[in-house]
Amino acid sequence: MNIFSTIVNVFKVKELRDKLLFTLAMLAVYRVGFWIPLPGVNQSMLAEYFERAASEGNAAGRMAQFVSIFSGGAFGQSTIFGLGIMPYISAAIIFQILGSVLEPLKKLQEEGPTGQQKIQEWTRYATIGLCLIQAIGWLTFITSQRMVYTDWSSNPVWWVMAVTALTAGTIFLMWLGEQIDRFGIGNGVSLIITAGILTRMPNAVMWVWNNFDPGNPQKLGWLQLILIFAGFVLVVAGSVVITVAQRRIPVQQAKHTRGRRVYGGQRSYLPLKVNHGGVMPIIFASSLMIFPSVILSGLHDQARNAQQSGAGSWLASDWWYSLTQWLSNNIQTGEFPYVVLYILMVFFFSYFWITVQFNPEEMSKQLREHGSFIPGLRPGPRTAEYLETVMERITYVGAGFLAVIAVLPMVVNKSMNIDFSVTQFLGGTGLLIVVNVVLDFLQRIEANLLMRNYAGFLGGGDDGKGPRLRG
């Protein structure tokens, strides 16, 4: 009942209601553009190719599944939003990493809103460049696979039109996200990604419904259904816990005497997030794990062709053919060597991300400048060393949870033979993105409600008018 009353309160506040409706309207515009196909592309052949690649679990299928997280699955239909918001995210990540390496960019970040506005402008320009590169690469790929009608692919005008349409689609989504940031509620880019992920949930539910038959051992039974539901609830609950989990370090403010008054002396906490990297370690690991499968499959094909042609080189030797065959078969989704390598990559990028984003020396310097210290530790290098040690330990826990979340979908897919469209909601990048964005969205709504209730408590009323406390 409390949830329904909260929803009613949301729509009672005019400002909050307008923001929420504007956000929903912009997301609806995004979903409309998602269904506008790119002219000249054989949509049925393209859909069949990605469906076959996903079922076979090869590198192309995993790449399509990874990219579809950020494009809303638009690659499968090759719409005008085919590239999604991924080029903008890639550009933002590049500038974020460069900001910790390049000194001029770091100084620009420290300038505040002015510097951030300049970096944002450069990010937009970089997005356009990435869009052009990705659009040309994508169109070249589908043309080589004969997924574009011949009359269209041989026309230079079509290439200009298609590249322009894909680039304009991403730029429009970037603009849409900025409008949500300004006039809506929540992070616009994150909400667009979340909307694309959640739209695949009805397909997952329909797959479970169509494959549920307790009397058929080849179908899902009651035990598998209960395990899927319980696993979804537990993973979502665990994702929420690890997202909001913090290690609070006590911070004491030094006392200052001015005249006859004593200032300071308050005790506060320095919150360090357990999962400081968020979904970034999984994104880096997922994108990087695509390449070993592609390379090893190519080496195995090369060895097989060398043996069939009877070449006398070492490429046709039995030991090389057996080695490439074993590597190609085992570095695949769900196989034990692949899972172990994936876990190691998640741990590596978890520590890499805190190395880039977390600066204990700078944090220790800020504490000393504000007259604060950690009880029992001298300000300066000793405090920085302590913060670095604590961060390394809690990152180990966060990385372990991320590793479980990352490998859970592929393990369930391999062991229980459940479609990946269902297992992706039992973990992985998509689920973590949804949990993070929904938590942020709910916290912003709650902050607006608390602020409004606080104004009403002072005597203002629901419309903000009426007597107020003065002075």
CATH of the domain at 281: 1.10.3370.10
CA distance 358 to 58: 36
How many domains are there within the chain? 2
The answer to whether position 2 is within a domain reads no
The tokens of 397 are what? Answer: 């826990």
Q: Are residues 195 and 229 in the same domain?
A: no
The answer to whether position 467 is within a domain reads no
pLDDT at residue number 456: 35
pLDDT at residue number 457: 32
The answer to whether position 209 is within a domain reads no
Q: Are residues 165 and 221 in the same domain?
A: no
Q: Are residues 193 and 233 in the same domain?
A: no
Question: C-alpha 13: how far from its chain's center?
Answer: 31
Mean pLDDT of the chain: 80
Q: Which residues of the chain have pLDDT under 50?
A: 1, 454-471
Q: Are residues 70 and 125 in the same domain?
A: yes
pTM score: 0.77
The answer to whether position 1 is within a domain reads no
Residue 149 sits in which domain range?
14-199
Q: Are residues 223 and 154 in the same domain?
A: no
Q: Are residues 305 and 272 in the same domain?
A: yes
Decide which of 138, 165, 199 is a domain's last residue: 199
The answer to whether position 210 is within a domain reads no
Please give the C-alpha separations between residue 91 and each of 87, 126, 129, in angstroms, as whole numbers.
6, 6, 9
The answer to whether position 134 is within a domain reads yes
The answer to whether position 188 is within a domain reads yes
Q: Are residues 395 and 362 in the same domain?
A: yes
The answer to whether position 204 is within a domain reads no
Q: Are residues 136 and 194 in the same domain?
A: yes
CA distance 248 to 358: 16
Q: Are residues 247 and 372 in the same domain?
A: yes
Q: Are residues 182 and 318 in the same domain?
A: no
Q: Are residues 305 and 412 in the same domain?
A: yes
Quick check: 267 and 250 in contact, CB under 8 A? Answer: yes
Residues in the chain: 471
Q: Are residues 195 and 253 in the same domain?
A: no
DSSP 163-184: HHHHHHHHHHHHHHHHHHHHHS
